[in-house]
């Protein structure tokens, strides 16, 4: 699990590493161009409330903290995130979206390892 520290708040936003890696690329690209946008997400079951939205602009400090070394980036997902960040709705993420894919990727790797053995 990675962390996004937004502004001067001490409480980080918990985001899976793989998702955070994609967000970092899109955020850095947008903010380097001085383009502001919103980032929204639904809270997980253990957090009260329904959803959150933050306003991202170059003057607000961000810090990305990753638990893992590096994550493989999905070019199609980067394009989808970039397009969404350019829309009037902003970028909306599902905090669980890549966990399911990671589980299926891990299962596929196990199956392939068994075939090779």
Structure tokens that stand for 6 in this block: 């937004």
pLDDT for residue 108: 42
- Helix (H) or strand (E) run with residue 77 in it: helix 75-85
The pLDDT mean for the chain works out to: 84
- 100: pLDDT strictly greater than 70: no
The structure's pTM equals: 0.78
**What tens digit of pLDDT does each residue of 37-75 get?**
999 998 877 767 788 999 999 999 999 999 988 878 999
- 36: pLDDT strictly greater than 60: yes
DSSP 95: T
Structure tokens that stand for 69 in this block: 């070394």
> What whole-number percentage of the chain has pLDDT above 70?
81
**Spatial distance between the Cα atoms of 56 and 35, rounded to a whole number of angstroms:** 9
């Amino acid at each position: 699990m990675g962390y996004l520290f937004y502004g001067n708040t001490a409480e980080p936003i918990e985001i899976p590493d793989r998702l955070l890696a994609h967000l970092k690329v899109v955020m850095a690209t947008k903010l380097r161009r001085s383009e502001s946008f919103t980032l929204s997400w639904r809270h997980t079951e253990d957090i009260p409330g329904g959803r959150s939205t933050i306003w991202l602009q170059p003057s607000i400090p961000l810090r990305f903290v990753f638990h893992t070394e590096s994550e493989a980036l999905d070019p199609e997902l980067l394009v989808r995130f970039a397009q969404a960040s350019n829309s009037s709705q902003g970028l909306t993420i599902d905090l669980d979206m890549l966990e399911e894919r990671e589980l299926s990727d891990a299962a596929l790797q196990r199956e392939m390892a068994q075939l090779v053995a």
